[in-house]
Amino acid sequence: MSRKEIGYNELIKTISLLLFIFINFLISSINLIEARNVNVPGFFYNDNVKGGEGFVNYYFNQNNVIKIASNYDIEVQIIFDHTLSNKKMALNITENSTARIIIESREYGTQFQNRGFKRGQNRFEQKWNSFVKMSSNLTIEKLEIRFSVGKTYSINNNDKIAVYKENEDWEILETRYISENENGENEAQLSATLMNIDTPIYISVFSPAMDYTWIYIILILIAIAVPVLILMSKTEYREFIKSRIFTNTSVHRLSIEEVLENENRSKILDFILEEPGIHFNELLRRVNISPGNLVWHLDILESYKIIGKKNIGHYICYFPYYNTNPIKAIDIQLAKSKITLEILNMIQKNPGIYVNQIAKALNLDHKTIIYHIKKLIESNLVENKKVGRKNLLYVKSSNLSELKIDTENIFRGKPEGII
């Protein structure tokens, strides 16, 4: 073969290689194209996403949107919990063969005990109030996750995408904030990527946690203000427990003396008497026993009505047991919500106001107002009375007087809290 023919063959090979690279580049980039829209009338949908067709946009009720793209043909089943609203995310899936994938978007429930956690020096907590569960019959080679950022979607630009796997804890992923201009879309997004994923996995968004120190200070002050029992010494409290009339309905067949004489339970009770409102993780650090053992001893103390507990924010806090819970009328989580307080303040000043009027005055979505009013009704601070076709809202004045909230400072932008 002549030198000229060899050179010609090499040129053909080079052109073919470049063409092959270019075609693969186009195929990998085509997922950025918006392919088709699907309006879903209910809460679940089955579909086939073609490899390389780009993003398929599924529009569910209550402004829930999920976008799915794949390099390979996949069967998808998508489920949205009917309680969710304003959730929007995108999944770009890389597979090496045809897969069947189930995507479930659910309300964040009690099955996740690790509701707040640390990464290095930073603490995170769940505010997105939902998660997405992905299940597949195959290992997913690569998964790019994107969540839309904004007040509507309850996601901020400093939030982090997290993933949970069976028998593991939530793990904060390396999360990138993509501005509107960078990704060419109308809204900013959070983005994270996972490789070689064995499902099922759970995906959610976590926010940097607030400093709850002020809450504990307030709780301690409240506890100190409760007469008689708070002023008891540890010895007096134990004598009080032993001397009261108590009918044991617990599964634990122990005498009161046996309950109190246990070394670990005695330590736990001492810490709770010293710091009413102490939370589970702090007890775990101080008592220095396994989480399972701590749960066991706390359960015994609760069963015998030696201590009581209350969920405050994302914490379980423990108190000496009282016939009247010293903070029964105070919902700390409610006091931290400025929007809820603004709505409460508006109802108080305008008895008989209804949802549409509040939404218009505060320039907020109708569903957002309903969500906060539901919290107020559940806290027994507000009631609605149906008159004709309208639900008129009124404050329960007697209950509101027990919830002392510094609304003036809150509405002026000062730190939120109770007084």
| Residue at which a domain ends, from 272, 287, 320 | 320
Q: Which range among 267-281, 283-297, 388-402 has the greatest average pLDDT? A: 283-297
The better pLDDT of the pair 114, 20 is held by: 20
Task: Check pLDDT > 60 for residue 69.
Answer: yes
Helix or strand or coil: residue 231? coil
Q: What's this model's pTM, rounded to 2 decimal places?
A: 0.46
Measured distance CA(39)–CA(57) in Å, rounded: 8
281 within some domain: yes
| Among 208, 230, 252, residue at a domain's last position | 208
Q: What is the pLDDT of residue 229?
A: 44
**The total number of structural domains that make up the chain:** 3
Of 173, 208, 243, the residue at which a domain comes to its end is 208
CA within 13 Å, CB half, 378:
10
Nearest to 212 by CA among 310, 116, 319, 308: 116
Do 384 and 401 share a domain, yes or no?
A: yes
| Cross-strand pairs, 193 | 144
- For residue range 42-61, what is the model confidence (pLDDT) as tens digits? 889 999 999 888 899 999 99
270 and 290 belong to one structural domain: yes
The reply to whether 46 and 132 lie within a common domain is yes
- 21 in a structural domain: no
Tokens representing 237 are 């409290």
In the DSSP assignment, the letter for residue 306 is: S
**10 Å Cβ neighbour count for 107?**
11
Residues 56 and 154 in one domain: yes
Any domain includes 200: yes
Q: Which domain holds residue 107?
A: 33-208
Buried b (16+ CB within 10 A) or exposed e, 191-218: bbbbeebebebbbbbbbebeebeebbeb
- Kindly state whether residues 257 and 394 are assigned to the same domain: no
Residue 239 lies in a domain: yes
In a domain, residue 325? The reply is: no
Q: Is residue 379 part of a domain?
A: yes
| pLDDT, tens digit (0-9, with 9 covering 90-100), for 131-160 | 999 999 989 999 999 999 988 888 988 899
Confidence of residue 3 (pLDDT cuts 50, 70, 90): low
| C-alpha to C-alpha distance for 1 and 7, rounded to whole angstroms | 10
Neighbours of 46 (CB within 10 A): 9
What CA–CA distance (Å, rounded) separates 322 from 312?
A: 18
Q: What is the CATH number of the domain that holds 271?
A: 1.10.10.10
What is the enclosing helix (H) or strand (E) of 105? strand 99-107
DSSP E strands, 185-243? 189-197, 201-208
**Residue-wise pLDDT tens digits, 33-44:** 556 899 998 889
If one compares 240 and 211, the residue with the highest pLDDT of the two is 240
Distance CA 355, CA 378 (A): 16
Torsion of CA 31, 36, 41, 43, to 10 degrees: -10
Looking at residue 209, the DSSP 8-state letter turns out to be: P
